[in-house]
Amino acid sequence: MATTYEPIATNTLGSAAASITFSSISSAYTDLKIVFVGTATAALYAKIQFNGDTAANYSYIGMYGDGTTAAAWSGSGVAFIAATPTFQTFTTTPTMFSTNVFSYGGSTYKSVLNSVSMDKSGSGISANNVGLWRNTAAITSITILTSTSTFAAGTIATLYGIKAA
Amino acid sequence: MANTYNLIASNVLTTATASVTFSSIPATYTDLVLRISTRVDRAINGPHNCQLTVNGSATSDYSQTNLAEFGVTINSTRASAAAFITTASTGNSTTANTFSSNEFYFPNYASAANKTLSLVDVVENNSAADFESAIAARAGLRSNTAAITSITLNTNGYNYMVGSSFYLYGIKNS
């Protein structure tokens, strides 16, 4: 039976950390998927960068609902893809996002599809966004980082590999 | 070989039923995914709201934030201190042979933390009329630290129709 959906690596934080990095990502898959569920030691949002690129080579566009308003959100010429909305922080309530990274080993720019689940019992957000990294290099590392402060101990991030064949 | 995405249990209805429960869910996985395809016997065009609860509990510790589009209307709503998570199914006045599709993702379901939930509902009905189709992305939360050992879906006074299907998968991250 073909193995099409495999855990590549998982990181469960034993102590608070400002970032989680998956490095030396194998080129053996077609697509990647990140599943994150975690909390934070202070109000923050989460970001994604590829291959350690901290330059303004990223953009994203999405839609969200905050319980009252359904609206669009975006960022262009920025140094990250927003994994959670930049205008809606989380702390002690578990927040989930899942990020599909398509054709990560290809030689074209890299696109992602991200969904965010951040209900905080009376506040919070449901959001989806697409992102672009304007770089033709194969993705070999992914960093999930905080906007400020740290992810709390117990936060889990897993990277899965998906094979088309 | 990694055995990452396993079918825990399934239920394809051969008789109409008001609710479906997956019980005795083992704690051996990291995450759960529930995929369902359903139609409810309420005579309504478009989506009918069903209810999800876990561990047989209908206490008011569920909340959710919704982003939804109904053909014309786009909105966001919220429920707090609710006794269930709302999810949409297809009603029985809609186009024949049409069932909704829904995916629920429960990360870290066996942990001692409150439980977050990601949910996508799709009710497509070949209609341009507002509120006769829907797509919804829902963020859910149960403010309870108990591990999830059972999941129940019920129709809120109606029945899931024959052919409705329910598949529960476990995902291991190692």
Identify all chain B residues contacting A118, using CB atoms and an 8 Å cutoff: 65, 116, 139
By Cβ distance, the residue of B78, B113, B137 closest to A128 is: B137
Res. B1 pLDDT band, cuts 50 70 90:
very low
Identify all chain A residues contacting B116, using CB atoms and an 8 Å cutoff: 37, 93-96, 117-119
Res. A164 pLDDT band, cuts 50 70 90:
confident
Task: Report the alpha-carbon distance of residue B90 to residue B42 in Å, rounded.
Answer: 9
A48 and A39 Cβ atoms separated by less than 8 Å: no
Identify all chain B residues contacting A156, using CB atoms and an 8 Å cutoff: 30, 107-108, 173
Mutation pick from A10, A90, A96 vs chain B, by most beta carbons of B within 10 Å, is A96
- What ipTM did this prediction achieve? 0.94
The whole-angstrom distance between A55's CA and the closest CA on chain B is 31
Identify all chain A residues contacting B138, using CB atoms and an 8 Å cutoff: 117, 126
- List the CATH number of the domain containing B39: 2.60.120
Pick the CATH number of A5-162 from 2.30.30, 2.60.120, 3.30.420, 3.40.50: 2.60.120
Q: Mean of the pLDDT values across residues A157-161? A: 97
Contact B75 A93 (CB under 8 A): no
By CA distance, what is B2's nearest residue in A? A6
Domain count, chain B: 1
Phi, psi of A133 (to 5 degrees): -110, 115
B104 and B34 Cβ atoms separated by less than 8 Å: yes
Q: Mean of the pLDDT values across residues A114-137? A: 98
CB atoms within 10 A of CB B146: 14
Task: Report the alpha-carbon distance of residue A71 to residue A73 in Å, rounded.
Answer: 7
Question: Alpha carbon of B104 to those of A50, A58, B52: distances in Å?
Answer: 28, 30, 10
Q: Mean of the pLDDT values across residues A18-42? A: 97
Mutation pick from B61, B75, B116, B145 vs chain A, by most beta carbons of A within 10 Å, is B116
* A31 strand-pairing partners: A162
Burial class (CB in 10 A: 0-12, 13-18, 19+), B49: middle
A55-98 pLDDT, tens digit per residue, is 999 999 999 999 999 999 999 999 999 999 999 999 999 999 99
**What are the residue boundaries of the structural domains of chain A, listed by start?**
5-162
- The parent domain of residue B118 ranges over 5-171
B117-163 pLDDT, tens digit per residue, is 999 999 998 999 999 999 999 999 999 999 999 999 999 999 999 99
